[in-house]
Amino acid sequence: MPESPDLEVRHLGEVLEGLAVSGKPGDWRITQPIPVSALNEGVLSFLVCRKGESEPIDSFTLVAGAPLAEDLRAEIDLLRAELDLLKRAFRQHCAESEA
């Protein structure tokens, strides 16, 4: 069986311990325990890199915390309002251009 890739997972620039790689070429699976100390409220990003290289080959994100759901809903409402404003302005521009 071919050797598994030599990978590491980083969070905030620190390499996390305990990464396990299994599978076969073209279908590798990684399992990474996330330390409790790395968890907090908000969006947490983790980078999967080849060992010793800084360029990530993949990443995964965790979203944690009860208040975050309300923040996301408020952000979506704001984005919808901005989109409606842009649509109205675009329609007005198109109507004026045709006249």
Sheet containing 14-15: give its strands across: 14-15, 7-11, 42-50, 56-64
Q: What is the pLDDT of residues 30-42, one digit of tens each?
A: 999 999 998 888 7
Residues with Cβ < 8 Å from 14, sequence gap 6 or more?
none
Side chain identity at 17, as an amino acid letter? E
SS3 category, 66: helix
Distance of CA 91 to the CA centre of its chain: 34
Say which residue, 43 or 82, is predicted with more confidence. 82
Q: What is the pLDDT of residue 49?
A: 96
